[in-house]
């Protein structure tokens, strides 16, 4: 606790990074291994059918082992030597402006590296079983490796521009993986949607990078954060908002959340990887990494909290109404990431807990997705929960794993979610009663939809067709589930023990103890009661009476939630329709209007009415007229400037 006290109630101190000696000279290898795997597998292709999946699994496992060694070394060092920067080469040097290719390994990125490679490795192992027999298995492993490499680049970058590369790489890899079964039109459309919405977010990122460059003349984390105290608050607010916009797209936060629900079209291990270990956590990482900027720009931080709060409730409500098990889990991810974003927006009271929840969520959400995948594997890819039921007897191991993750996401002590979510609720109440209530209500709804899910899947009467023969998955799939379930069970208490996660992260993100009007155990008790009420309501609605196989029409809130709370409709009316309209107008002007003008004039002057056969779109005279229009335009701007 002494190390905690020294940095209490203030931002992180900036310490000079240590040199990359010993095992830390291998930081680049963390990224290079999966990247090499991706390159080999994508180039060799089907010729690697026999061994491709093994190589693809070996790469992240090797990275994970290196990461573990590094982690052990870092633990043995004092706080101020735990940040290591490995400089490879200068990518761009313009005057005093330098962009190096350099990696920064500190407590924050170490945490992410362990999560990405650890959970990522388990998902790779699981995929060996899940993708058995798929003709594109080698391509699948190549793309998974690419995904892991891009995500590692994102969290290991030591400057915003390199981070942006990883950011784009993650977007590209997710696009490839979501559209993996591109022969299915829905999958191709879903991949496109994810890509387009992520590009929209990338605009925010690229504007943020340019603003950073102009404001600070640098994009390195160290340089930028050192200069933040001298910067103007308005500029910082804009930078913060642009970063948040980028984070919203990657982390599926309101208003750029719509792609995540469709992204379920990819193979289930991809969903697990996107939701648990990579991609959606990138936004939280970005906000946490940029903590000096958000600490200095309260307005931007408030925007982060608001976005998190809205998404938290939205995701939970959507999760209640979906019958597709993966989509329900997707709603849950939105909601849980909302918790993290909200916590990150709270400032030093929240950063550590946001990351704590990110870790526990990584464990239990990966378990839930892999469990759902295992159910689907035994049910011939059926995803409708109304056609499940009573699976606990036939899929014992999957049920045990899923059940542990269920208790963890609800936050039942001593499962991991209890420790992390409880802390976020505490931090939220310490900053404001409204935000606190949002997190509390969210916990109740979470309990409701998760209870609904587990009852519909594993309890009640069997509702599957007679020709279904559900069976347990092979050990290569169940073992990863059980390992992750174990982590979901004990991960929370292990990390919360003696405040170890807070003191580990405090040097990077800062930490201050939340102060509440009531004792902490009191709030924990209230939270637990709310969760139990939510779970009871779920049981009351789905456990007591048999679940109908066809969904009832439902009241309007149910229908709204089924329609993703009209997220798509909103996007369409706000962006797509005006975009289409603008396109039509421009094309019309290009092809018709100018011609029409000319023809009209020509008809009045010379009576030429017959339009000659047109080879292409236009006549030279109409082009010339448009040029003349341009001359007038140029003249007008000159006059306007002079006036």
Partner 1 sequence: MSALLAADLAPFPVPSIEYSAISPLIAIFGAAVLGVLVEALLPRTARRPVQLVLTFGALAVAFGLVIWQRDTRATVLEGAVTIDGPTLFLQGTIIALAFVAALVMAERRVDVAGDDFAPRASALPGSDYERDLTRLGWLQTEVWPLLLFSIGGMVLFPASGDLLTMFIALEVLSLPLYLLTGMARRRRLLSQEASLKYFVLGAFSSALFLYGVALLYGFAGTVSLSGIAEALTDDAQQYGLVLGGTALVAIGLLFKIGASPFHQWTPDVYQGAPTSVTGFMAACTKVAAFGALLKVLFVALGGVRWDWAPMLWVIAVLTMVVGSIVAITQTDMKRMLAYSAVAQAGFVLVGVVAASPDGMAGTLVYLVAYGFASVGAFAVVTLVRDATGEATHLSQWAGLGKRSPLVAGVFALFLLAFAGIPLTSGFIGKFAVFTAGVASGAVALVVIAVVASAIAAFFYIRVILLMFFHDPAPDGPAVVVPSSMTTIAIAVTVAVTIVVGVIPQPLLALISDAGVFVR
By three-state DSSP, how is residue 132 classified?
coil
Question: By CB neighbour count within 10 A (0-12 exposed, 13-18 middle, 19+ buried), where does 78 fall?
Answer: exposed
* CA angle, residues 622, 624, 626, in degrees to nearest 5: 70
CB of 88 to partner 1, least distance (A): 12
DSSP 386-402: GG---TTTT-HHHHHHH
The DSSP code for 275 is: I
Answer for which of 396, 586, 593, 603 binds partner 1 (CB under 8 A) is: 586
Helix H or strand E encompassing 519:
none
Is 231 or 560 the residue whose CB approaches partner 1 more closely?
A: 231
Helix H or strand E encompassing 39:
helix 27-44
CB of 92 to partner 1, least distance (A): 6
Give the C-alpha separation, 399 to 458, whole Å: 7
Is 553 or 613 the residue whose CB approaches partner 1 more closely?
A: 613
Answer for which of 135, 475, 578, 635 binds partner 1 (CB under 8 A) is: 635
Count of residues interacting with partner 1 (CB under 8 A): 53
Q: φ and ψ at 248, to 5 degrees? A: -60, -40
Tell whether residue 16 is a contact of partner 1 (CB under 8 A).
no
Give the C-alpha separation, 76 to 56, whole Å: 32
Residues of span 537-556 touching partner 1 by CB under 8 A: none
Pairing of strands 84-94, 97-105: antiparallel
Tell whether residue 75 is a contact of partner 1 (CB under 8 A).
no
Helix H or strand E encompassing 84:
strand 84-94
Q: Using DSSP, how many helices (H) and how many strands (E) does the chain show?
A: 27, 2
Taking the C-alpha atoms of 384, 388, 389 and 391 in order, what is their torsion angle to the nearest 10 degrees? Answer: -130
Stretch that binds partner 1, among 301-309, 518-526, 563-571, 625-633 (CB under 8 A): 625-633
CB of 152 to partner 1, least distance (A): 16
Stretch that binds partner 1, among 58-66, 274-282, 509-517, 622-630 (CB under 8 A): 622-630
Is 51 or 588 the residue whose CB approaches partner 1 more closely?
A: 588
Is 234 or 393 the residue whose CB approaches partner 1 more closely?
A: 234
Residues of span 202-241 touching partner 1 by CB under 8 A: 202-203, 206-207, 210-211, 213-214
Answer for which of 7, 67, 128, 200 binds partner 1 (CB under 8 A) is: 200
Tell whether residue 642 is a contact of partner 1 (CB under 8 A).
yes
Stretch that binds partner 1, among 333-341, 458-466, 531-539, 584-592 (CB under 8 A): 584-592
Tell whether residue 179 is a contact of partner 1 (CB under 8 A).
yes
CB of 328 to partner 1, least distance (A): 28
Tell whether residue 28 is a contact of partner 1 (CB under 8 A).
no
Give the C-alpha separation, 287 to 291, whole Å: 6
Cis bond leading into 255, ω under 30°?
Answer: yes
Interface with partner 1 (CB under 8 A): 90-95, 161, 164-165, 168, 172, 179, 182, 188, 192, 195-196, 199-200, 202-203, 206-207, 210-211, 213-214, 582-583, 586-587, 590, 615-618, 620, 622-624, 626-627, 629-631, 633-635, 637-638, 640-642
């Amino acid at each position: 606790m002494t190390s905690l006290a020294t940095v209490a109630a203030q931002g992180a101190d900036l310490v000079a990074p240590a040199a990359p000696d010993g095992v830390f000279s291998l930081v680049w290898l963390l990224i290079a291994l999966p990247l090499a795997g991706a390159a080999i597998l994508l180039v060799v292709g089907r010729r690697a059918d026999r061994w491709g999946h093994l190589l693809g699994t070996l790469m992240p496992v090797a990275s994970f082992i290196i990461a573990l060694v590094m982690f052990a070394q870092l633990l043995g060092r004092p706080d101020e030597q735990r940040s290591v920067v490995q400089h490879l080469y200068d990518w761009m040097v313009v005057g005093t402006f330098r962009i190096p290719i350099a990696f920064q390994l500190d407590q924050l990125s170490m945490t992410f590296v362990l999560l990405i490679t650890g959970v990522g490795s388990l998902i790779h192992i699981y995929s060996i079983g899940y993708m058995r027999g798929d003709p594109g298995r080698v391509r699948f492993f190549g793309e998974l490796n690419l995904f892991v490499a891009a995500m590692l680049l994102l969290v290991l970058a030591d400057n915003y521009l390199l981070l942006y590369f990883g950011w784009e790489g993650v977007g590209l890899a997710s696009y490839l993986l979501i559209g993996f079964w591109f022969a299915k039109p829905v999958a191709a459309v879903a991949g496109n949607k994810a890509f387009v919405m992520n590009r929209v977010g990338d605009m925010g990122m690229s504007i943020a990078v340019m603003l950073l460059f102009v404001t600070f003349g640098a994009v390195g984390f160290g340089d930028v954060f050192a200069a933040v105290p001298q910067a103007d608050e308005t500029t910082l607010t804009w930078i913060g908002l642009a970063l948040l916009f980028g984070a919203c797209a990657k982390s599926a936060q309101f208003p750029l959340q719509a792609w995540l629900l469709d992204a379920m079209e990819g193979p289930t291990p991809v969903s697990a990887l996107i939701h648990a270990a990579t991609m959606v956590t990138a936004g939280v990482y970005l906000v946490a990494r940029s903590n000096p900027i958000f600490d200095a720009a309260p307005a931007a931080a408030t925007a982060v909290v608001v976005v998190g709060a809205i998404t938290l409730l939205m995701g939970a409500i959507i999760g209640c109404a979906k019958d597709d098990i993966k989509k329900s889990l997707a709603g849950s991810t939105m909601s849980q990431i909302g918790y993290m974003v909200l916590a990150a927006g709270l400032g030093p009271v929240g950063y550590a807990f946001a990351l704590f929840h990110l870790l526990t969520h990584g464990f239990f959400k990966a378990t839930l997705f892999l469990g759902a995948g295992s159910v689907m594997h035994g049910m011939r890819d059926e995803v409708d929960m109304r056609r499940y039921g009573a699976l606990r007897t036939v899929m014992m191991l999957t049920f045990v794993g899923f059940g542990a993750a269920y208790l963890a996401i609800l936050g039942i002590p001593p499962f991991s979610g209890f420790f992390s979510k409880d802390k976020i609720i505490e931090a939220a109440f310490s900053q404001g009663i409204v935000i606190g209530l949002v997190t509390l209500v969210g916990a109740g709804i979470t309990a409701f939809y998760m209870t609904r899910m587990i009852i519909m899947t594993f309890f009640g009467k069997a509702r599957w067709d007679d020709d279904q023969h559900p069976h347990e998955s092979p050990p290569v799939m169940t073992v990863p589930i059980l390992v992750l379930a174990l982590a979901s069970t004990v991960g929370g208490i292990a990390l919360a023990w003696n405040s170890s996660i807070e003191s580990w992260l405090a040097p990077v993100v800062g930490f201050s103890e939340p102060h509440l009007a009531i004792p902490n155990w009191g709030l924990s008790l209230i939270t637990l009661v709310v969760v139990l009420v939510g779970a009871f309501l779920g049981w009351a609605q789905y456990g007591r009476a048999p679940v109908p196989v066809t969904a009832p029409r439902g009241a309007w809130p149910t229908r709204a939630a089924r329609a993703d709370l009209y997220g798509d409709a909103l996007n369409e009316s706000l962006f797509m329709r005006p975009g289409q309209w603008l396109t039509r107008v421009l094309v019309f002007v290009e092809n018709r209007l100018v011609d029409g003008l000319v023809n009209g004039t020509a008809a009045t002057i010379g009576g030429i009415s017959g339009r000659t056969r047109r080879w292409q779109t236009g006549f030279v005279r109409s082009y010339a007229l448009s040029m003349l229009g341009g001359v007038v335009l140029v003249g007008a701007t000159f006059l306007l400037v002079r006036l």
